[in-house]
Amino acid sequence: MNDLRPLVLVADDDPDILALVRFRLERDGYEVLSAPDGETALDLAMARTPDLAVLDVMMPRLDGYEVTRKLREHGPTTTIPIILLTARVQEPDLERGFEAGADDYVTKPFSPQALGERVQAALGL
Amino acid sequence: MTPSASTSGRPPRLVLRFAVYSAIALALAWVVIFWVVRREAEERAQHQVEVRTSEVAERVDPSLTPQDFAGPVTTERRQELDAAFDPELVGTLLRFKLVNADGVVTYSTDPEIIGGRSDSRESLEKALAGESDQHVTTLNAEGGNRENVKAVESYIPVYLGESEEPTGVFEAYVAYEPVAAEVRETVTPIAIAMALALVLLYAALFPILRQVTRALDNRHRRLEEHAAALSQALDERRRAEVRLTQAERNYRSLVEQLPLVMYITHLDETSSFIYMSPQIEELTGYTALECMSDPAFLVKMLHPDDRERTLEERRRAAGTGESYATKYRIIGKDKREVWIHDEVTIAKDESGRPIHAQGFMVDVTPQVTTRHEIERSNAELTALHETALALIDELDAEKLLGRIAGQAGELVGTPDTYVYLRDGDELRVAFGTGVFAGNVGHRLKKGEGLGGRVWETGEPLTVEDYQEWEGRKTVYDGMAIHGVAGVPLRSRTEVVGVLGIAYGEPGRGFDSADIALLSRFAHLASLALESARLYTSAKEELAERRRAESAVREAELRYRTLVEHLPLVTYISPVDKTVGNLYVSPQVEELLGYPTEEWVKNPNLLSEAVHPDDLQRVLADAERLRESGDPLRSEYRYITADGRTVWVLDETILVRDDEGTPLWVQGFILDITERRAAEETRARLAAIIESSTDAIMSGSLDLTYTSWNQGAERMFGYTAEEVIGKPITLLMPEDQQAEALEIVDQVVHQDRVVQLETVRHREDGGEVHVAFTYSPIRDSSGKTVGISAIGQDVTERKRAEAAIRESEAKFRAFVETTEEWVWASDADNTHTYSNPAVERILGIKPEELIGRNWLDFVVEEDREQIVEAIAERTDDTVGWSGLVMRWRHADGSIRHLESNAIPVLGPDGEVVGWQGTDRDVTHRIQAERDRERLLAVEQEARAFAEAAQHDLAAQNERLRELDRLKDEFIALVSHELRTPLTSIRGYTELLLDGEAGKLTGDQRQFLGVVERNAHRLLHLVGDLLFLAQVEAGKLVLDIGALDLGNVASESVETARPQAEAKNITLTLATGPVPLIAGDRARISQLLDNLVSNAIKFTPEGGRVDVRVRALKQRAVLEVRDSGMGIPAGEQEFLFQRFFRTSTATEQAIQGTGLGLAISKAIVEAHAGRISVTSEEGEGTTFQVTLPLHSPAEIPETTKVAS
């Protein structure tokens, strides 16, 4: 594939939010990989090496923190920007996210447009 | 290993051995050959002899007559016969002869042996039986003049006439040597050839043998070496065995020297002996070998009665392996019973399995038999004793015999017993039991049968088996008796009967112990018989006398009647003191309790009945009487059968016949107990009177003194001599004489005892106060004969009484006037004194109390307790103090009296009463009670309060728990709400951004409503979450330097559109306020809340003023509105979650009731305070104060968890 659009991995267990984010980001000109849970997200990341990952924290099987930690463990994903989506805005939760290796977070509910801006900023575009 | 010492003891080499064996074989071969030759030679010689003899016989036969065999032939006949034989033929024979059936040589070619006897009897008989016979012999065996020549002898039978039997025998000798030589000639070459062949064979085999032998030799040497080693080992073993054997021998000799029998048995059924020490022979007569050779020896040896038990014990021990000791009997070789004490141990191997039993036996026969003897003799003694007791009373001879015989039989163990008694010059069966029961009346003469012999010899006799006894009486044949024993019954020395017993079963005999026992019985029986005989004869004699002395008897009867009615006991005793009395009159029983018969029968009764203190004297008196014959009169005491002491007067005389020989002693005993008692009493009284400190005197009816004791002498100073006979007015003061005489008159005539305290004159003129007791003196008929007076000196007492009276009066005055109740009681709580105070205290008069139990006046339910308390104090004799008792006032009310008392002690220190004082403490008690009651009420209330508090705390705890659960729930729900809100807001935004195409005006307006409401919802969720965090103590502040005016300005600007929409004037006034330390977002939230609240609750056209200023060390923030105000009653709930004012609800102003709660939480998290002032219809002002900090204190960014 010679698609030059940045590849963004989005993972959320809520299909509506997943579709919302995907819609926004695709409109913003990204290629989007969407995953309904943490495990799929991890598999996709390993398979495709996205340029950036937007991960919901509260996901079944593997939560966002866990996926972040695994992405940071080895391979090309150790350096990609990771943005967490979270309904938890309390300090310990945020710290946990940064400790796992996330670069930024966006609290729910978020404005799709604002998310797009964060992604753009993280990619340094 | 080197074949060391074996050279000398080494066996010859095999080669050498082989050579020797070969040589022996050769020699044997030669011997065989020689034997074959010899045998062949003999056979041939015999054959030749037979042939030749037969020839000769055939030749001679016809010329022979029976006469030739009758006896030695005559010379003529011999010559005839010599001639008859073919000289040539005979010449080949050494000798020829005829022998008749008797073995006599009737004819021979050698005339010297005619008439001799044939030498071989055996061969001759064979020939006479019809068989010829040959054997090798020497010729000179039967004499003759021939030299000693080896020859073969042949015997041929001779049949003469038609006879079937041989008439005689031809006997011929043939020289042996020529025949043998002939044989040797033929056999010898063959033998030599055989020997040569053997030598050749040996030569051929020799090399092979040599090789074989060498190999064998080597092997032998090796074996030898092994053998040497083995032999060494064997030597050692042998030495060890020797040591063992030695050790065993030592032990064995030790064991066999012990004075007991050691043994080892298998653990089989019969306990067969493995080892038995030889001492067994001494014990049983069986040798140790006998014991060990029979496996069932122990079983056989055991006494049948002990066999099963003993074997069972052994079996049990073999099973359990435990050691034990036992006793049993064994039957020795001489049938003797031996008691064995056996200590058995079970030996075990290493694994603990029993392998055999070992033990030792000790002969305990003497101990056991001694014990049995003792048991038996105990039983015998008991029986003898019982019998003896029975015999004493038994005078009926028949019953007596029955008893004796029965008892004897029982002891010896047989029911068969009999008693013979002399009846004239015969013995008669007087009694029989068992098989002898039917024999009563049988008679025996002296020396006849068993009884007769016992009578004759006077010695006991036993017969082992009566059925076999030569002396048995045929009349008893057929009776089932076997062992019989008889012992003589004697009267003094004379045999008067026979006591016998028998065993019905054969085999039981009597031993010496049985006989001894029987003899003792016989002795008893003899005694009894003697008594019975005496009794009988006495009876007879009595009857005789009665007849003969009827007249005398009448007199005697009278006399006796007289005697037996005398108030005394008469008796006649024999001069011989060892015998009982001859007669004792029946009054003795009444006097001494022992019946007449006993006095007569028991010579010892006197010693038993006389008082021990008097016995020596009485016996000495009796002795003297018997010796001197002087009449005796003595007084002494008897102890009666029922234990009383009786004084008697005993007068005794010795009665003699005309010649002066003592006949008997007679006398009487008189009961003088009363006299003695009276004498003693009198003596005692006199002593008492004399020793009395009281004056005791008496006077006669004519009023003169008749007695005067020492007490009187001391009291009045007159001696008895001075007073006796003087009138009794001697001591009386003049003025009292009349009174005194009146008293005397009363005593004498009215028969009264009078007591009087009065004054008497002393001899020295002084006065003495005397307490007199006057009583009448009566004679035995009860008539008053005088007057007695006992006087006690009471002078001192009078004086003391006066003193006491005086002191009592003083005390009484004191006591009777005191406020306290003074009282006294005796030990039984009977009130004896009370002062008048009691009436004031209890409303009871003293006289109502006195004589009554004071406890009756105490509150009833307390009485028991008080009695106990007093009893305790009685023991201690310390009294009590401060003891509060509840009394019943006469008006029924209860009075508390505090009591103090001390015991009144008797002469021995015992408590005889109490005295004390009581005080009314009812008021004090009442006061104490009230205080206690109040205290109790207070305590109760306190306890109740504490309990309530405790409940409240628990309830609080529960509420807190519920609150926490609720907070958790809110946090969860808030989270769950955010996710759907994300979608709502996100998609709305997309639509509004035109991402889904261009929107119409209406669409945009409607989506705006959706977005607004989503926003509200989100806000609500945010508030809830915030509060939940606050409640959970999880609020985190992001503290930084904060310009409050700036924040206020932002909030006001944010709210302005809202205010303008309602046409509300919104102002902000900001003073100079330093930076504060705070979370910008939170403070901003606080201001937004307050400002939007103010706008919400302010009607259109009103105003909202926000003001920020510094006041002292505080920043003050005010939001004032001109709204509807808050009712005063609701202000205090304003900052509670979900609280909405009634106005808000009524006017349907939107809100969650969370804003102020959140505001308060934020303010407090910043260590500030929020307050509200409001007036309905006027407006409301919220004021927030926050602490100011110096700039240095404010951190750049600090996170503070509240």
Would you state the pLDDT for residue B1183?
92
**B987 contacts on A by Cβ (under 8 Å):** 16, 20
Mean pLDDT across B1155-1161 = 88
Tell me the nearest-neighbour CA distance from A20 into chain B, angstroms: 7
Would you state the pLDDT for residue A25?
92
Model confidence pLDDT, tens digit, residues B466-510: 888 887 777 777 777 888 888 888 776 778 788 888 887 777 777
Would you state the pLDDT for residue B1201?
42
**In this complex, do B995 and A27 lie within 8 Å of one another by their Cβ atoms?**
yes
Tell me the nearest-neighbour CA distance from A95 into chain B, angstroms: 13
B1018 — contact with chain A (CB < 8 Å)?
yes
Mean pLDDT across B684-711 = 82
Model confidence at B553: pLDDT above 60? no
Would you state the pLDDT for residue B1106?
93
A107-111, B75-79, B606-610, B897-901: the lowest-pLDDT one: B75-79
Q: Which residues pair with B152 in a beta bridge?
A: B136, B174
Mean pLDDT across B220-246 = 75
Backbone φ, ψ for residue B103 (5° rounding):
85, 10
User: Around Cβ B640, how many Cβ atoms within 10 Å?
Assistant: 16
* Nearest residue, CB atoms, A109 vs list B981, B1029, B1036: B981
Would you state the pLDDT for residue B12?
47
**In this complex, do A90 and B1029 lie within 8 Å of one another by their Cβ atoms?**
yes
**In this complex, do A17 and B983 lie within 8 Å of one another by their Cβ atoms?**
yes
B202-216, B794-808, B1128-1142: the lowest-pLDDT one: B202-216
Distance CA B912, CA B828 (A): 8
CB B136 within 8 A of CB B151: yes
Going along B575-674, which residue ranges are E strands? 583-584, 632-639, 645-656, 662-671
B981 — contact with chain A (CB < 8 Å)?
yes
CB B406 within 8 A of CB B499: no
Model confidence at B215: pLDDT above 80? no
Distance CA B1089, CA B1091 (A): 6
Distance CA B584, CA B597 (A): 8
**A111 contacts on B by Cβ (under 8 Å):** 985-986, 989
Mean pLDDT across B516-535 = 72
Mean pLDDT across B950-967 = 83
In whole numbers, what is the pLDDT of chain B averaged over residues? 79
| Angle ∠(A56,A57,A63) on CA atoms, nearest 5 | 110
Would you state the pLDDT for residue A32?
93
Model confidence at B781: pLDDT above 90? no
Would you state the pLDDT for residue B826?
87
Displacement of CA B84 from its chain's centroid (Å): 123
Residue B1107 binned pLDDT confidence (cut-offs 50, 70, 90): very high
Model confidence at B402: pLDDT above 90? no
Contacts of B337 (CB under 8 A, 6+ apart): B303, B329, B330, B331, B365
Mean pLDDT across B386-406 = 66
A86-100, B526-540, B729-743: the lowest-pLDDT one: B526-540
Mean pLDDT across B1176-1185 = 89
Model confidence pLDDT, tens digit, residues B967-1002: 677 667 766 778 888 888 888 888 888 888 888 888
Exposed (0-12), middle (13-18) or buried (19+): which is B1109, by Cβ within 10 Å? Answer: middle
Model confidence at A53: pLDDT above 90? yes
Residue B1124 binned pLDDT confidence (cut-offs 50, 70, 90): confident
Tell me the nearest-neighbour CA distance from B1032 into chain A, angstroms: 12
- Amino acid at the residue B921: V
Lookup: tokens for B220:
């032998």
User: Around Cβ B712, how many Cβ atoms within 10 Å?
Assistant: 25
**In this complex, do A20 and B975 lie within 8 Å of one another by their Cβ atoms?**
no
B150-159, B293-302, B617-626, B1192-1201: the lowest-pLDDT one: B1192-1201
Report the percent of chain B where pLDDT is more than 90: 3
Lookup: tokens for B923:
């008021």
For residue B575, give the nearest of B607, B603, B535 by alpha carbon: B603
Interface of A with B (CB under 8 A): 14, 16-17, 20, 23-24, 27, 87-88, 90-91, 108-113
Would you state the pLDDT for residue B866?
83
Exposed (0-12), middle (13-18) or buried (19+): which is B91, by Cβ within 10 Å? Answer: exposed
Would you state the pLDDT for residue B11?
44
Model confidence at B1199: pLDDT above 50? no
Model confidence pLDDT, tens digit, residues B858-888: 888 888 888 888 777 766 667 788 888 889 8
Between residues B11 and B18, the one the model is more confident about: B18
Would you state the pLDDT for residue B538?
65
Which ipTM score applies to this complex? 0.79
Helix B1001-1031, helix B1155-1165: angle, nearest 10: 50
Model confidence pLDDT, tens digit, residues B150-183: 777 778 787 776 677 777 887 777 777 777 777 7
**In this complex, do B989 and A108 lie within 8 Å of one another by their Cβ atoms?**
no
Mean pLDDT across B313-322 = 84
**In this complex, do A23 and B978 lie within 8 Å of one another by their Cβ atoms?**
no
Q: What is the DSSP letter of B660?
A: -
C-alpha distances out from residue B1173 to B901, B930, B1097, Å: 80, 53, 14
For residue B45, give the nearest of B150, B189, B170, B140 by alpha carbon: B150
Would you state the pLDDT for residue B1067?
92
B314-318, B384-388, B1071-1075, B1177-1181: the lowest-pLDDT one: B384-388
Would you state the pLDDT for residue A8?
94
Mean pLDDT across B649-666 = 81
* Nearest residue, CB atoms, A108 vs list B979, B987, B1014: B979
**In this complex, do B981 and A108 lie within 8 Å of one another by their Cβ atoms?**
yes
B196-205, B303-312, B848-857: the lowest-pLDDT one: B196-205
Model confidence pLDDT, tens digit, residues B508-520: 777 777 777 777 7
**In this complex, do A87 and B1034 lie within 8 Å of one another by their Cβ atoms?**
no
Mean pLDDT across B31-51 = 75
Model confidence pLDDT, tens digit, residues B68-126: 777 787 788 777 777 776 666 666 667 777 888 777 888 877 777 777 777 777 777 88
Residue B1198 binned pLDDT confidence (cut-offs 50, 70, 90): very low
Model confidence at B383: pLDDT above 80? no
| Dihedral angle sign, alpha carbons of residues B527, B532, B537, B542 | positive
Between residues B58 and A106, the one the model is more confident about: A106
Would you state the pLDDT for residue A1?
46
**B989 contacts on A by Cβ (under 8 Å):** 111-113
Residue B9 binned pLDDT confidence (cut-offs 50, 70, 90): very low
